[in-house]
Amino acid sequence: MFSLSRLLLVFSFLSYALLPAQELTGEWSGNLEIQGMQLPLVITIAQTDTGYTSTLKSPKQSPLAMPTDETLFENDSLYFVVSRLQLRFRGKLENEVITGQFTQMGNSLPLTLEHKAYEEPEKAERPQDPKGVLPYTAEEVSFKNPKADDITLAGTLTIPQDVKNPPVAVLISGSGGQNRNEELQPFNHRPFLVLADHLTRKGIAVLRYDDRGVGESEGSQENATSEDFATDVEAAVVYLKTRTDLDSSKIGLIGHSEGGLIADLVIAKTKNNIAFFVSLAGSAIPGGEIITSQTEKMAQLNGTDSGVTAFDKELSERIFEYLATAKDTTGMDKDLERIIKEEIENAPEAIKNKYSPRLIEEAKNQFKNPWLLYFVKTDPADYIEKITIPTLVLNGEKDVQVIAQLNLPAYKKALQKAGNKDYTVKELPGLNHLFQTAETGNLQEYGEIEETFSPQALDLISSWINARF
């Protein structure tokens, strides 16, 4: 269930040697050309006693600069890799420019890095961004999470002006660190801003907050899992219960993508007393199946070689099946290497020749990330089967990240098993993972579409909540 930020945002590992510090330290920036769209990358390098460290940022996707894992620089050639995201780069340095190839998930693109700082372009507004005087109160708020070293999380609480003690919804973002607007920076879409504005105009208060380690919120995304993020939501609920201008018996959760799973974890603990739940492109099948299905679907849309797609699918399925049943990490390194080598041995020669010992090591290491391990080992249905509160489950028919045809039947089955008496499971025709009206649902369309959030979907969400509260 990788959101866009986790699928495309490139984090690399750079630890340089054999070059004078003055030639490497500082920012290197360049652009990936993806179907006519420019995706900037920024690498910042610093010197240490043992070599070099660096961070990598995709500024149009996230404000976060992520630490890299490793770097090699030999014979004027730079090599970096991000195992868990299946990406790598190899380039040649000449005259303050590094020219090479960026590869991710079997797709290769040219990338040129220049030794200069990235310049942030001016942001354009989208048609649905709220404008003018708002007919509601918008309050900057903060709250602490005692289960995460008392980190402070910051957000915005919007409250209708003419509704006494309204119901309130907490918005929960998808995977990858995102700000309170769930902002997709390369595309200037702010789905949570638009959703909060719509709901508040319809008489529903909304709390949206920066994810831990993002914007004004403290903490870190590093090594955090969905279970950790669930404690942030619990802290938000506790805070809302202290407000005298809201109805503490009508606090609901609206989770998008991984936010749906996070909401499942919170609601399953009945002591949290959640009143209602809206799942927006949330999953109801195990994480390994989510990743495999979305990777296969996007590969088809992007024209990836069918042989590569078939190999990646078979390899992923074997690994995810192993990870789902592994009791701990003991022996994991050895087992993963064995599985990968067995699959490579039976692969076509063209694929077999690409898997050097280093690439095998990369493939193995990507599956040991704590977030991914938790995601793969978790079956959302185990928690959905405990949800008995009013529940609205929506999925776009053209969603290629959380595929409706796989997840909606599983959601319905789990809610029936829970004995839930008030649930609606609905596939919305023509909508993608962001609930935009789309043609194919492919990620590259996100920025081309002016619509941030389908008005029909917005009306469905608000009317469903108001019919019950």
Q: How far apart are CA 129 and CA 108, in angstroms?
A: 35
Identify the band that residue 206 occupies on the pLDDT scale cut at 50, 70 and 90.
Answer: very high
> Residue 37: what pLDDT?
67
152-187 residue pLDDT tens: 999 999 999 999 999 999 999 999 899 999 998 767
CA dihedral 339, 342, 343, 347 (to 10 degrees): 170
Q: Indicate the CATH number for domain 4-114.
A: 2.40.128.120
> Residue 402: what pLDDT?
96
- Round to the nearest angstrom and report the end-to-end CA distance of the chain: 30
Find out whether 433 and 400 touch, Cβ atoms under 8 Å: yes
> Residue 1: what pLDDT?
44
Count of beta carbons in the 10 Å neighbourhood of residue 250: 20
What's the whole-number mean pLDDT along residues 58-78? 75
Task: Outline where 16-72 has alpha helix (H).
Answer: 21-24
Domain with CATH 2.40.128.120 in the chain: 4-114
pLDDT for 256 beyond 50: yes
Q: What is the pTM of this model?
A: 0.80
Find out whether 391 and 276 touch, Cβ atoms under 8 Å: yes
> Residue 327: what pLDDT?
78
**Closest to 229 (Cα-Cα) out of 6, 464, 433:** 6
Q: Are strands 168-172 and 251-256 parallel, antiparallel or unpaired?
A: parallel
232-255 residue pLDDT tens: 999 999 999 999 999 999 999 999
Residue position matching structure tokens 């990858």: 176
3-state SS class at 170: strand
Q: How far apart are CA 349 and CA 202, in angstroms?
A: 60
Answer yes or no: CATH 3.40.50.300 is held by domain 136-285+379-468.
no
